[in-house]
Amino acid sequence: MVKIDEAFEAGEAPIKESARSGAGAPSEPPPPPSQGEILSSTEGYELRWSTRIPLVRNTLLIRQLSMALGGGFLFVLILGIILVPEDWILVITGMGPVLLSLFVAIMGLSFIVMFALERAMKGGIDAEFIINEKGIEYEAGESSKTLNRAGLLGAVLLRSPVVAGGSLISISRESQSIRWKDIKSVTTYKGQHSILIRGKELALPIGVFCTQDNFTTALDLIKKYAPGVKIVEKRSFQP
C-alpha cells in the first residue's frame, strides 16, 4: 500500500490548493467531487467526496438502522418503567413482546422501502464526507434528509412514538463530526469500502462510506492523523 505522503511526493495523488492556502487561492471552494480529491493546505491534507450510499446491500447501514430503531424502543420501555415504577415487571412483560413485534414489522417494512428507494434513486441516498487534520465530518444529502422527515411525518400520522423516536435519532445524526483525539477505534470493511468510527463518548458509531477509488486514501489519512488509534481491518462486514 502506498502511504499518503509518499504518494504526494511521487505525484501519484491529485493535489489541489485549498482556500486556506493563502494567495492565489479561489474565492470559493470547488464542489465536492464524486470520487474524492486530496486538497493540500498549510494545515495538512484534506479528502472531500460525495457518494451514494446503497441501502439494501449495505449491511453496515442496516446495522445502524436497527440500532437507531432499537434506541427508540428502549426509550419507550424505560419511559414506561419510569412512569409506572411499582409495576415495572408488568411493563416489561407486557410491552416487551409488543415492542419486539413492532421492531420486526418495521424492519421488514424498512427493507421494502429501502429497496424501492434504491431503485428510484439509482443507487442509494447521497452523502458527503470530509477527512482532514481536524477530524472526520459527515453531512447527509437532501434525499436522506427528506427520507428522515417523511418517516417522522408518517410516525406522527400513525401516532407511533417508537417510529418517531427512531426518526428523531436519524435526524439528529444528519450532520456529524468527530475529532481525532475523540476516536476510540476504527474498523474497516474493505469489501464494502466502508469504515466504522467509534468514539469515546458516542453512543452510536459513525459510518464512513468511501468509493472504490478513494477507500485506500481515506484509510491512509486516518492512519496519518490518528496513529495511536486501534484499527481493525476486515474484508467483509461481521456483526
pLDDT tens by residue, the chain, 239 residues: 445 555 544 444 443 433 333 334 444 444 444 455 555 444 568 899 988 887 777 777 777 778 777 887 888 888 888 888 888 888 888 888 888 888 888 888 878 877 887 777 777 778 899 999 999 998 887 766 667 666 667 666 666 665 666 666 565 566 788 999 999 999 998 888 889 999 987 656 888 999 989 999 999 999 999 988 989 988 655 44
How many angstroms separate the CA atoms of 57 and 55, rounded? 6
- Spell out the domain ranges in the chain: 4-234
Q: Please give the DSSP secondary-structure letter assigned to residue 26.
A: -
Beta strands at 194-199 and 206-209: parallel, antiparallel or unpaired: antiparallel
Give yes or no for a contact between 136 and 197, defined as CB atoms under 8 angstroms apart.
Answer: yes
Task: Using a cut of 0.85, tell me whether the model's pTM lies above it.
Answer: no
192 grid coordinates: 464494502
